[in-house]
Amino acid sequence: MISSYLQKFKNVCLEVVSSYFRTHSILMLFQDIFFVILSLQISLFLRLGEDISQISISAIVFNTVLYVLFGISVFLGKHIYKVLAYYPALGELFTISLSVTYITFLYLPVMYILPPDLSLPRSTPFINWFVLIVLLWIPRLFHSPPQNKPLEVDPENLNLPSVKQPMVLEELLNRPHVSFNLKSLRAMIKGKRVLVTGAGGTIGKELVRQISKFAPSHICLFDHSEYLLYMADLEMDESHPKLPRDNILGDVACRERVRHIISTFKPELVFHAAALKHIPLGEENPSQAVLTNVIGTRNVADACRDFNVKAMLLVSTNEALNPTNTIGATKRLAECYCQALDILGRKKPNGTRYSSIRFGNVLGSSGSVIPLFMRQIERGGPVTITHPDIQRYFLTLDEAVELILEAMTFVMTSEVPAGRVITLDMGEPIKIADLARQMIRRAGFEPDVEIEIKFTGLRPGEKLTEDMSFENLSTTHNPNIHIDAPRTMDHGFLARALHELDTVAKDQDRDSLARLLRALVPEYKRSELEEESDTELES
């Protein structure tokens, strides 16, 4: 046992020494130790002034040696446990202050047990705390200690760069958290039977988490992925084991399965989050995008009407506004169907209420750039971005879901007029390149120096900037939630068109599918990338 610990200690010492010499950080260590010695002398002078002669030379030397030993242990410890001791998000000054505080805490008990002839005035460590921080910080204003560069690292090599600070996604937005009405959410959900489609996805799982806090009488988790549904159920077992729930496997594109679930479960509220949302994959697999996003929404919406669900909310996307890709076009068509059913439902005393909610990117969701960037940073780069000027709107996951829930309260209380679409105010757009650089710095690396940023070009169907039109929006009592009035379509015409679209999608007829989508969604335009390609071909 002892020999094993000695071997581990030896390995750590060798790693520390070799690492310091390899990066020349040993010079910074010597500099810091020199400042530890100097700070104590300055502190004594500030404390005693001309009476410094009353302290014996042996006391000054002995206490200086103690400070140096404590300083070395802290600085080496900070290097060994750099993941725990380095806080780039809080700045270099905070890191230095933490190290100096450790040294002071180590010294204080010793000062009280030293004999009088070897002790210093009791206030000396506190004066020294401030002096040492200043001395250590001033050189770092002009020179940062070198770090290992992770360029040209073999992926099989164990010396991959380590992210030095856990990423706090909310800090990336640099804005206050949006507010929501907790009381109205509880009143809407408490005692209700709730169904969430796509319950294993990022949005769906967070919906389940938030809804479960407000004491529904029963919740149904519906997803096509066995693994994601299993993980969602496992989380519910841990967080809300007594909440009655059903875990249902199925595909929303299967009409019979959807009708069976809703007729059996009899939900009062339905949150329809099941969708395909990855734009490049949607371009490569348009038939699946249509079957899931359009036909799946039609199946859920029809079943809600036929089995007397009180309200259904479709989780849509900003891509549905002036779409340039298959995902956006299919989501817009799904919105149109919910709009048409909502207009019909208003004519009945207890008709089902429908609405759709649009928002942009969710930080950290499975399809967002955040997990991709984090993975690329951990591997040493490069971080890939399609275009230097591309920008997007972002919400945190809990913000998005809280606003989705509050939007449903508006639907339930008829604050949303018939056939309208709810849209969220997501603040100012963020440049993806700026976001990437911020993430690299927060991970403790220098963008374009230690982590390369590589631009790969816009992908098919990808917008350079997201459309966010606030010209025709009406406001609500929540400043972050607005009501849009996009064009509506006749339900009878739309039902016949979607029947044809369903047939074409199942036949895998890409050309006919594209023609039908463009006919049904006239605002569907080609992306900047496709237009540039067409121009090049014509020239």
* pLDDT of 240 over the 80 cut: yes
Is the residue at 391 inside a domain?
Answer: no
* pLDDT of 273 over the 50 cut: yes
pLDDT digit string (tens) for 513-532? Answer: 999 999 999 988 865 545 55
pTM confidence score: 0.64
Per-residue model confidence (pLDDT) at position 141:
59
Is the residue at 371 inside a domain?
Answer: no
Q: pLDDT class for 25, splitting at 50, 70, 90?
A: low
* pLDDT of 87 over the 50 cut: no
Residues 133 and 188 placed together within one structural domain of the fold: no
Residues 248 and 310 placed together within one structural domain of the fold: yes
Q: Is the dihedral of CA 384, 387, 388, 393 positive or negative?
A: negative
Residues 212 and 343 placed together within one structural domain of the fold: yes
* pLDDT of 335 over the 80 cut: yes
Is the residue at 148 inside a domain?
Answer: no
Residues 279 and 405 placed together within one structural domain of the fold: yes
Residue in 458, 338, 413 with CA at minimum distance from that of residue 184: 413
Return the CATH number at 320: 3.40.50.720
Domain boundary among 115, 140, 165: 140
Residues 202 and 291 placed together within one structural domain of the fold: yes
Residue matched to tokens 């591997």: 379
Is the residue at 533 inside a domain?
Answer: yes
Per-residue model confidence (pLDDT) at position 415:
75
pLDDT digit string (tens) for 474-524? Answer: 778 788 888 988 899 999 999 999 999 999 999 999 999 999 999 999 988
Residue 28 makes CB contacts below 8 A (sequence gap 6+) with 145
Number of domains in the chain: 2
- State the first-to-last Cα distance of the chain, in angstroms, to the nearest integer: 77
Is the residue at 203 inside a domain?
Answer: yes
Residues 200 and 273 placed together within one structural domain of the fold: yes
Is the residue at 390 inside a domain?
Answer: no
Q: pLDDT class for 212, splitting at 50, 70, 90?
A: very high
Distance between CA atoms of residues 362 and 368, nearest Å: 7
Residues 403 and 337 placed together within one structural domain of the fold: yes
Domain boundary among 107, 140, 173: 140
Is the residue at 260 inside a domain?
Answer: yes
Q: Please report which residue ranges of 240-384 form alpha helices under DSSP H.
A: 255-265, 279-284, 286-289, 296-306, 326-345, 369-378
Residues 283 and 415 placed together within one structural domain of the fold: yes
Report yes or no: 419 and 472 within 8 Å, Cβ to Cβ: no
Is the residue at 428 inside a domain?
Answer: no
Average pLDDT over residues 256-269: 96
Residues 131 and 255 placed together within one structural domain of the fold: no
Q: pLDDT class for 366, splitting at 50, 70, 90?
A: low
Average pLDDT over residues 244-266: 96
- List, in sequence order, every beta strand (DSSP E) within 160-265: 193-197, 218-223, 245-249
Residues 269 and 405 placed together within one structural domain of the fold: yes
pLDDT-wise least confident of 152-156, 322-326, 356-360, 511-515 = 152-156
Domain interval for residue 204: 181-359+397-423+480-538
Residues 205 and 124 placed together within one structural domain of the fold: no
C-alpha 290 chain-centroid distance: 27
Residues 212 and 126 placed together within one structural domain of the fold: no
Rg (CA), the chain: 31
The crossing angle, in degrees rounded to 10, of helices 397-412 and 182-189 is 60
Instruction: Using alpha carbons only, give the angle 524, 420, 179 rounded to the nearest 5 degrees.
Output: 105
Q: What is the three-class DSSP state of 418?
A: coil
* pLDDT of 106 over the 60 cut: yes
Report yes or no: 334 and 297 within 8 Å, Cβ to Cβ: yes
My answer on whether omega of the bond before 121 falls inside 30° of 0, hence cis, is: no
The string of DSSP codes covering 34-91 is HHHHHHHHHHHHHHHGGGGGGS-HHHHHHHHHHHHHHHHHHHHHHHHTHHHH--TTT-
Distance between CA atoms of residues 62 and 43, nearest Å: 15
Token digits of residue 518: 């463009």
Domain boundary among 108, 140, 172: 140
Distance between CA atoms of residues 118 and 37, nearest Å: 17
pLDDT digit string (tens) for 50-63? Answer: 566 667 777 778 77
